[in-house]
Amino acid sequence: MSGRVTRETRMSGRAGTRGERAPVQRSDALLTDVALLYYRDGLTQSEIAKRLRVSRASVVNYLKQAHEQSIVDIRIDGTSYTSSKLSRDLRDAYGLEDVYVASVHTDPRSGPKQAAEEAARQVARVGAMTVHSLVRPGDVLGVTWGRTVHRLSEEMPGGRIPDLAVCQTIGSMRSHILPSAESIAIRIAAALGAECHTLHAPAVVSTPELAEALRREPIIHAQLAELGRLTKVLFAAGNVQDSTTIVGAGIVTAQEMHWYRDRGAVGVICGRFIDAQGRHVVGEMDARMIGITLEQLRRSVGILVAYGVDRLEAIRAALAGGHARYLVVDEATGAQLLALARAAERRPSRAAPDRGTGTR
């Protein structure tokens, strides 16, 4: 993974004066010493092993423990992913503030499933670094739900951002595939040292009347009011295939999905269906949903994290509708997004003669 790497070895409370200590304290001091020798002094693992009179395998294990116990914190400057030509071209083509392009290096022997898994993992990593670099003290960050955002939450680097709040933007739903929406928001908030505002309501209820009654409940009403303060929103784009996550989670049925597709829906963002121009395709489900609206999304700074050619239409629609100002994408999907934008630019000039002929 490319990018500028910063390694910080945390010594406060870990490796003070030497002398008699409890075993755990000595272990922490040893891990800190090994980390300093490796990361700061540039010694090889073999050189450290000779100096400490331990095996090289022990040094490898010490370094691993140092990461796990946060003695060493590795941070990567996410802006490194905005310097490629593809990033600049996508930014210009879609009018974005910036585009973070994740390079995916897979084993040539990998099959399509393994390659897709690696792309998802890499985009999640870059997306986590992007979020960490974009949020500022005083921000109110909205967090949606889905496979992509869940993966990102697992990759979120630590580092407290003062006066940051994280809000769950869509109610809870049942899924055997993914953790709940609130657990994803809580994980991201914990990594950033932020205050977390969860949403104590289902994502979709059985009737519009019940949804309206829940929205009026004082606790839920106050939690929904927090969404009006959002400054940034982290979200993904889902397709409208029958196998998509919101069908598996029971938010919509396959029959309802067909209804939306028949009316031009090509993607789903923040639980709302959009057409190819990014316009909201309003259906009966909207009245039963408890969560962020597309208008609230547009009023904030959208951070779209997306990958995969099966989501290409949905990603393009989200960008066309102006729902995102920052995009995190893998190289393959980014290249296809750029090709679509350039084809759209050429299309009017080719179509003009036909229109002229038709009016005669």
Mean pLDDT across the stretch 243-266?
Answer: 86
- Average pLDDT value over all residues in the chain: 84
Tokens standing for residue 166: 């994280």
* Per-residue model confidence (pLDDT) at position 32: 79
Q: Are strands 195-197 and 165-168 parallel, antiparallel or unpaired?
A: parallel
Q: How far is CA 208 from CA 79, 198, 211, 213, 288, in A?
A: 44, 22, 5, 9, 5
Spell out the long-range contacts of 292-295 with Cβ–Cβ below 8 A and sequence spacing 24 or more. 292/142, 292/144, 292/169, 292/170, 292/227, 292/230, 292/233, 294/269, 294/270, 294/321, 294/323
What pLDDT, on a 0 to 100 scale, did the predictor assign at position 359? 37
* Mean pLDDT confidence for 105-126: 81
Rounded to two decimals, the pTM is: 0.76
Residue 24 predicted with pLDDT over 80? no
Q: What's the pLDDT at 34?
A: 86
Residues 182-217 have pLDDT tens digits of 999 999 999 999 999 999 999 999 999 999 999 999
Question: β-pairing, 237-238 with 267-269?
Answer: antiparallel
Per-residue pLDDT for 19 more than 60?
Answer: no
Comparing CA positions, the residue from 342, 318, 321 lying closest to residue 329 is: 318
- Gyration radius from the chain CA atoms: 24
319-344: average pLDDT = 95
Q: Which residue from 298, 312, 318 is spatially nearest to 343, judged by alpha carbons?
A: 312
Q: How confident is the model at residue 107 (pLDDT cuts 50, 70, 90)?
A: low
Lowest mean pLDDT among 129-143, 169-183, 346-360: 346-360
For the chain, list the domains and their CATH numbers: 4-75 (1.10.10.10), 84-343 (3.40.50.1360)
**Element housing 99 (H / E):** strand 98-102
Residue 313 has pLDDT above 50, yes or no: yes
71-98 pLDDT, tens digit per residue, is 766 555 555 567 689 999 999 999 999 9
pLDDT of amino acid 317: 98
pLDDT score for 354? 41
Give the per-residue pLDDT at 326: 98
pLDDT classification of 356: cutoffs 50, 70, 90:
very low
Least confident segment among 4-13, 162-171, 190-199, 224-233: 4-13
Asked if 267 and 323 count as a contact pair (C-beta separation under 8 A), the reply is: no
